[in-house]
Amino acid sequence: MNQLDFSGRHAVITGGATGLGYGIAQRLLASGGSVTIWDSNGEAATKAAWSLGAKAFALTVDVTQQPSVAKAVAATLAQAGRIDALVNSAGITGPNTWLWDYPVDAWRQVMDVNLNGPFICCREVVGQMRSQGYGRIVNIASVAGKDGNPNASAYSASKAGLIALTKSLGKELADTGVRVNCVTPAAVKTAIFDQMTPDHIAFMLSKIPMGRFGKIEEIAAMVAWLCTEECSFSTGAVFDLSGGRSTY
């Protein structure tokens, strides 16, 4: 493992109780920082923080609700004193079906969690980052947001929107000490696979030239670097982690 320097910094990780978010928390802790996990499953968040050690904390947060996020920002600042990095990792896939059969309520839920949630979190955290003159925001998008996966229209559209949000906010904050970037992984085998059909999982694997899914620690390594001071001249950028699927 390459050594990254996140010493003395504090990160908020949404959806950090399990999967990719948990792996990112592990890597930032190993890099010398501390973390607060925001997750809608408070019990899972508390258990995750306990397993991560004394420099990890947990809050029950519904990222789709602005009052919940605003309350979490205040609680995090009261406990940690600052928020140096925000990793928007919370996400859902939604059902795998044709667009013309897609349930409207499910579409709205995917948009709420995958796009509205990061918007609200960024909106509530950016003020504190601007006032302290430093911050790093990393949005977990997806290669689906660049290519568009069939039978995953809501997921693809939400991640495309998140890429655009990243570019827009990155430009808005370019003259400050806050950097905003996103990563676009191909499929990574986590519990989110439980939300997908076997056919869709097979389709995603067939598109990866390396012939395998990504590993949590591979994504976490890139995200952790984007959270450090060394990421100083990249903002509004999209970093692929796709095993060769995306080359543009």
Q: Residue-wise pLDDT tens for the chain (248 aa)? A: 889 999 999 999 999 999 999 999 999 999 999 999 999 999 999 999 999 999 999 999 999 999 999 999 999 999 999 999 999 999 999 999 999 999 999 999 999 999 999 999 999 999 999 999 999 999 999 999 999 999 999 999 999 999 999 999 999 999 999 999 999 998 887 766 677 778 878 887 888 888 888 899 999 999 999 999 999 999 999 999 888 887 66
Q: Which fold has domain 10-241?
A: Rossmann fold (3.40.50)
Is the entire prediction scored with pTM above 0.75?
yes
- List Cα–Cα distances, 241 to 32, 197, 215, in angstroms: 24, 22, 10
Q: Of these residues, 22, 102, 134, 155, which one is catalytic?
A: 155
Region of residue 215 (phi > 0: left; psi between -120 and 50: alpha; otherwise: beta): beta
Q: What are phi and psi of 188, to 5 degrees?
A: -120, 130
Q: What is the CA radius of gyration of the chain?
A: 17
All residues at 6 or more sequence positions from 185 whose CB lies less than 8 Å from its CB, including other chains = 20, 140, 142, 143, 214, 219, 241, 242
Task: Report DSSP state, residue 149.
Answer: -
134 part of the active site: no
